[in-house]
Structure 1
Amino acid sequence: MSSTRTSGTRAHRTVLVVGGGSAGNAAAILLRRAGIAVDLVEARDDWNATAGSGITLQGNALRVLRELGVWEEVARSGYGFDAVGIVAPDGTALHITEDLRTGGDDLPATVGMRRPRLQGILSDAVRAAGATVRLGVRATSLDQDDDGVTVRFTDGAVGRYDLVIAADGLHSATRAAIGITDRPEPTGMAIWRVAAPRPTGVTRTDLCYAGPAYIAGYCPTGESTLYAYVVEDYRDRAGIPPASYADEMRSLTRHYGGHWPEITAHITDPAQVNYTWFDRMLVEGSWHRGRVVLAGDAAHCCPPTLAQGAALSLEDAWVLAQLLISADTWDDALLQRYHERRIGRVRPVVEASVRIGRWQLDGDRDADVPGLMGRTAALLRELP
């Protein structure tokens, strides 16, 4: 991208954000706050119809949410805690670790919350910031030149932008449209998730690495709710009828004690059970082509073994917005600096997340999972 366009103030700059998930919403909020005009298009008609029952937000994610101005609402809506327990299949606590507060000492180590609630908070903040939002709309073509990008949309509209941020997720159509061929690959594991009432004694995440599942865990998401999950070998989803999802998950959770019998009793509605493969991807080389730049899952994804997917996406948006807001010139060198700042942080997290799963698949009894988690947390405590 050879343009040296600086024409004018931020008020004259225009950005298109493709995708209304964590990365896209965060970028839209931060850029609008700086006076940059933002259009956001989201393929779904229902912006808040997010899959999954819950989300675990580590401190480095909370740090960005505070920058977005939504931390207080997140704190009211979720459940904060500072420890993780390792338990036996019968529920006996084997080890309790105080988590490192990766977002700083003034934020909890972790907040669990309902995923649709987080999406609702962020989407409301996007609208409040003054971004133009169009739902049920996709970009159909992107024509670039030295001065900008002309984008055509499925609703017939045509827009002209100084920059396009591709935050349209793991299977990003925008990534493919600009010629980046990296694709997500399954890691060999899959996860069953469900929301359930929170037993009184559940005040932190507990994880079991034994029994019929690779991982059986739960995370409180509010005063009366949690989400529970079990991880197994991945299977062809086409061979699992959705009507059987509750039965499939109960067939694993019924082998666990402690709080699990109470949780299992509520796994009855297959429509409330989510089944997802673990994928990994890291786009190698620069994350932009011309004036189109990737953020979030469009650039990288990892298994949730370290609960860092949303956090890394939020960090992408924060770093990219900082660079765009502070620069007089939006050029190739600026977008390359964004990649350089992110890749050294994202790569070890992706690799560590995959490695933990690999150790489990291989049955490696000498694996130092706590040590790897601790080293990764120390890295994430530093500012991105």
Structure 2
Amino acid sequence: MATPLRVLVHGGGIGGLTFAVALARSGHAVEVVELRDELDALGVGIIQPSNALHVMREIGVLDACVAAGFPWEVLTICDPVGNTLAKIPQPQLDGAPHANGIPRPELARILGEAAVAAGVPIRFGTTIEELSDDGSGVDVTLSDGSSSRWDLVVAFDGIGSPLRNRLYGDRFTPEYTGFANWRVTVPRLPEVQGVVISVGRTSTKALLTPITDELMYLAAVTAEEPDFRPDPARAHEQLKERLAAFGGPVAQSLTNVTGPEGIVYSRISQVTVEEPWHVGRVVLAGDAAHASTPNLAQGAAMAVEDALVLVRTLDSEDDVASALAAWEARRRPRAMFVQNLSRALLKEETGSPTTPEEDELLKIGMPGAAHVLVKPY
């Protein structure tokens, strides 16, 4: 667009900060509001596949991500006792590294520093209280009492998106899959040079991901009742009970889990906004629009792709309405491919029944998906 836009970003997570940095570097005025008091990223670590790293390169933080993390090239599949079944080289997108594991707090720090360097204000402890879209702009009142007018409001506010609820009510709420994710940081074993996945004989999967030279995280996907929550005093014992059938590096890593401290438990849910991802000049992106199960490790990658493509589309189209329509037409098929295949893989790995459509997707599989997703986004 010929005139720079004023854009308010609701949510200072990975997608929101990536969008803000790219937007500011493109000459637009942007501000982020974040309900948390600081960028204290929840969780332990995250996988950055090559397409996500390509976005990091585009916003100027690739080197910082690689320096803070652990770059790797080969995915290893093991049986429950630790015997290697397959080693799968990961493809690259336009010269970006194959993949990188990084602690979530480090990624939050890198993106936060990039936002500050780009001149992006971040208001912490703040959220949107009221908004009114008159077709030519959005009047917003924040929880700190301030009011201002924006050309666009973009919600990167996660799977529980308050703005999604404001736009669509309860029509698109998170759907619990019946499975949950346990994660904990442990010392990296020397043999863990990339992600190692072990699938058990029951509906349990274990995953080891290096995130620095010294650290990796252990993740376990287990079937859990909707109302289950780990006992704060014995979460480590409950995790070990669920992984009792595993040997090899999974069992070895569990010897370092001696207490409940640091164990992060989250239910695996997904969201599909089946209506347009924007209402007027208020837009949903990332998990707010299309949260997936973690089986392809593409959730954050889809959010940062959303971010960069939205900036590029805003720059290339003549008006906001045309840009939002073009952006969604480009992004929805890719995001739905990730969501649908991720859910199919979750079912396959845990022995759950699959649909004929999911069986077709499973013919692509995880290796095939990696090659699909390193094509330009």
- Is TM (by shorter chain) over 0.5? yes
Query: Does residue 91 of structure 1 match 2:85?
Result: no
* 2-structure distance, mates of 1:154, 1:208: 46
Deviation at 1:236, TM superposition (A): 3.7
Residue from 100, 108, 111 that aligns with 1:122: 111
* 2-structure distance, mates of 1:34, 1:348: 29
**Counterparts in 2 of 1:204 and 1:370: CA distance versus 1, 3 Å:** farther
Q: Secondary structure at the match of 1:382?
A: coil
Contact 1:84 1:99 in 2 (8 A): yes
Q: 1:359 aligns to what?
A: 348
For residues 16-36 of structure 1, give each alpha carbon's deviation from its aligned partner in whole angstroms, at most 9, with x where no partner exists.
Answer: 000001111111001111221
Matches within 5 A, 1:111-150: 111-150=100-139
Q: Secondary structure at the match of 1:242?
A: coil
Contact 1:212 1:252 in 2 (8 A): no
Residue from 258, 267, 270 that aligns with 2:248: 258
* 1-structure distance, mates of 2:257, 2:12: 30
Contact 2:11 2:155 in 1 (8 A): yes
Deviation at 1:237, TM superposition (A): 4.8
* 2-structure distance, mates of 1:260, 1:244: 19
Q: 2:64 aligns to what?
A: 73
* 2-structure distance, mates of 1:30, 1:361: 39
Q: Secondary structure at the match of 2:42?
A: coil
Deviation at 1:239, TM superposition (A): 4.6
State the TM-score, normalized to the length of structure 1.
Answer: 0.92
Query: Does residue 20 of structure 1 match 2:12?
Result: yes
Query: Does residue 288 of structure 1 match 2:262?
Result: no
Q: 1:378 aligns to what?
A: 371
Deviation at 1:69, TM superposition (A): 0.4
For residues 22-53 of structure 1, give each alpha carbon's deviation from its aligned partner in whole angstroms, at most 9, with x where no partner exists.
Answer: 11111100111122111100000122x22211
Contact 1:31 1:325 in 2 (8 A): no
Q: Secondary structure at the match of 1:56?
A: strand
Deviation at 1:369, TM superposition (A): 5.5
Q: 1:166 aligns to what?
A: 155
Residue from 5, 14, 34 that aligns with 1:42: 34
* 1-structure distance, mates of 2:258, 2:226: 22
* 1-structure distance, mates of 2:42, 2:164: 22
Contact 1:140 1:152 in 2 (8 A): yes
Contact 1:254 1:260 in 2 (8 A): no
**Counterparts in 2 of 1:238 and 1:187: CA distance versus 1, 3 Å:** closer
Q: Give the aligned residue type for 1:197.
A: P
**Counterparts in 2 of 1:120 and 1:269: CA distance versus 1, 3 Å:** farther
Query: Does residue 223 of structure 1 match 2:223?
Result: no
* 1-structure distance, mates of 2:244, 2:68: 30
Structure 2: give runs of 5+ residues left out of the alignment. none
* 2-structure distance, mates of 1:44, 1:23: 15
Structure 1: give runs of 5+ residues left out of the alignment. 1-5
Residue from 187, 202, 206 that aligns with 2:192: 202
**Counterparts in 2 of 1:125 and 1:373: CA distance versus 1, 3 Å:** same
* 2-structure distance, mates of 1:285, 1:148: 21
Query: Does residue 9 of structure 1 match 2:15?
Result: no
* 1-structure distance, mates of 2:343, 2:283: 25
Q: Give the aligned residue type for 1:76.
A: A
RMSD: 2.0
Q: Give the aligned residue type for 2:247.
A: G
Q: 1:339 aligns to what?
A: 328
State the TM-score, normalized to the length of structure 2.
Answer: 0.94
Deviation at 1:238, TM superposition (A): 5.1
**Counterparts in 2 of 1:327 and 1:363: CA distance versus 1, 3 Å:** closer
Contact 1:213 1:230 in 2 (8 A): no
Q: Give the aligned residue type for 2:199.
A: Y
Q: Secondary structure at the match of 2:257?
A: coil
* 2-structure distance, mates of 1:145, 1:127: 31
Deviation at 1:14, TM superposition (A): 0.7
Deviation at 1:361, TM superposition (A): 3.6
Q: Give the aligned residue type for 1:81.
A: W
Q: Secondary structure at the match of 1:262?
A: helix
**Counterparts in 2 of 1:291 and 1:255: CA distance versus 1, 3 Å:** same
Q: Give the aligned residue type for 1:69.
A: G
Query: Does residue 298 of structure 1 match 2:292?
Result: no
Deviation at 1:253, TM superposition (A): 3.1
**Counterparts in 2 of 1:93 and 1:313: CA distance versus 1, 3 Å:** same
Deviation at 1:241, TM superposition (A): 2.2
Q: Secondary structure at the match of 1:112?
A: strand
Q: 2:175 aligns to what?
A: 185
Q: Give the aligned residue type for 1:25.
A: L
